[in-house]
Each structure stands twice: as C-alpha cells, then as structure tokens.
C-alpha cells in the first residue's frame, strides 16, 4: 500500500510536468510536427556579398588568368635578365638599345637641335617634339605612381639614370616613348622607305628588349606602346605654332 507521502509527491509532480509541456507548446523542436515543418522549410538565402565571394565574376577570373599568363610569359622571355641567363651574352647589346629609348638622350638631343636650328619650320617641329617628350615623362610617372606595380623579381636594378618612380614597371616608359617618337618621325620627316622600316623595327626591338632584360612584364610593354600611340594624337591636337604660342617661339627666334 503506497504511503501518503509518496502519493503527495506524485500529485505535486504532475502540475509541474503539465506546466513544462504548456511552455514548450505544440511546435516544440522535439515534436513530430515541428520536425516535419523544419524538414520542409528552405534554408535562408545568403547575403549578396557572400554570393559574390562564392561566385566570382567572369571579369575577375579573366583578369586573374591574364595576370598569371603575363607573369609566366615575362619570366620565360626574360632570357637576358642577368649575365648567367640563357642569352646573357646579349645583355650588353640590349642595354645599348635601352639607352636609345631613354628619355634623357631624346630630351637633350631635341633641345640641342632646337638651339642650333635656323629654320622656323624645323623649330616648330622640334619644339613640339620637346613638348611631346616632356608630356610623355610626366604622364608615365603619374601612371606608375598610381598603379605602383613592382618590376619583375628577376630584374636587376642597373638601369641607366633612374628616378624614384622607376622602381615601378607599369607602363613601360621606353615603349611609350618609342611609339610616340615613331609616329612623330613618320608624320613630320620625309624619309625613304628603308628608313621608315628601320624606325618601326626600332620600336619593336625596344619593346622586346624591355621584356628580355627583365625590366618589364609583357603587359607593361603592350600598354606602353598603346599609350605612346594615343599620346601622339594628343600632341597633334595640341600642336604648338607661332599663332597659338607666340611667346614660346619668340624665345627661340634669332
């Protein structure tokens, strides 16, 4: 026969159990109905930024692939980056080509010709060439300072007369200058066809030598050639003449 004390404990436990069930409610996680509802509900969508990280755009993938190919090709083509490289014996010759595309010889040569010229037509051409070379130096320095792409790791910093921005490689100043000078010379000098071909070949050799010496990546040179080509169009649009810049021509008149 149960004792009165035991029956009182069972009676007091039933209300506590009933109150616990009422708090959990019919939709408690352990109930079958709750499990059916959770199984049939779809997971919440991911935020938009998470979707973008998980699914990169086609443009991003294409640019990453292009950069990888660019670095790989530049490394393989840098056959004159050092004396111990595959074509290291040709390095002195390519450094002569490097000087031929440097800005300082072109600026000094143009300035000297401007001072020695007695023809007003020749002074006009040389003054605009000098303006184009200065514009080229400024524009390339600005772009290098903005992009700040480091030079290839296999490059030796033994370049001819450098400044602070020359530690960056994009774009190639030599390639920009070569394309600019090429268009300028072909449009304003009367040259025989063999000489015109030599000018174009010089541009190609300067561009290729920048990669072979390890100075630049392939895309640095390609963009430099494009920039120089476009820059000549800007010079032509802003062409200086005695009519729109009389003060400048008065300085060089004898």
> Which residues participate in catalysis according to the annotation?
174, 216
End-to-end CA distance of the chain: 137
CA atoms within 13 A on the CB side of 112: 6
- Give dist(CA 55, CA 73) in Å, integer: 28
Q: At 150, phi and psi to the nearest 5?
A: -70, 155
Reduce the secondary structure of 1-45 to three states and give it as a string.
Answer: CCCHHHHHHHHHHHHHHHHHHHHHCCCCCCCHHHHHHHHHCCCCC
Exposure string over 46-72, b if 16+ CB within 10 A, otherwise e: eeeeeeeeeeeeeeeeeeeeeeeeeee
Q: At 107, phi and psi to the nearest 5?
A: -65, -45
| Residue 151 near residue 169 (C-beta atoms within 8 A) | yes
| Residue 197 near residue 250 (C-beta atoms within 8 A) | no
| Residue 170 near residue 225 (C-beta atoms within 8 A) | no
């Amino acid at each position: 026969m149960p004792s009165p004390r035991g029956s009182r404990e069972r009676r007091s436990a039933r209300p506590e159990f009933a109150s616990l069930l009422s708090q959990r409610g019919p939709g408690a996680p352990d109930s079958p109905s709750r499990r059916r509802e959770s199984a049939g509900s779809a997971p919440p969508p991911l935020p938009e930024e998470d979707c973008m990280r998980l699914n990169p755009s086609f443009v991003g993938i294409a640019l990453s692939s292009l950069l990888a190919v660019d670095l790989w090709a530049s490394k393989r083509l840098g056959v004159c980056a050092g004396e111990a490289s595959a074509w290291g014996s040709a390095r002195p010759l390519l450094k002569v080509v490097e000087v031929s595309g440097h800005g300082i010889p072109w600026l000094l040569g143009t300035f000297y010709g401007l001072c020695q010229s007695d023809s007003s037509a020749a002074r006009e051409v040389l003054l605009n060439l000098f303006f184009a070379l200065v514009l080229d130096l400024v524009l390339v320095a600005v772009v290098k300072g903005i992009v700040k792409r480091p030079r290839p790791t296999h490059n030796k910093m033994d370049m001819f007369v450098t400044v602070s921005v020359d530690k960056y490689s994009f774009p190639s100043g030599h390639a920009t200058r070569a394309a600019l000078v090429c268009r300028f010379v072909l449009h304003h000098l009367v040259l025989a066809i063999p000489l015109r071909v030599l000018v174009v070949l010089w541009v190609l050799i300067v561009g290729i030598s920048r990669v072979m010496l390890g100075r630049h990546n392939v895309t640095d040179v390609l963009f430099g050639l494009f920039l120089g080509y476009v820059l000549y169009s800007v010079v032509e649009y802003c062409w200086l003449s005695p009519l729109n810049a009389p003060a400048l021509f008065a300085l060089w008149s004898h």
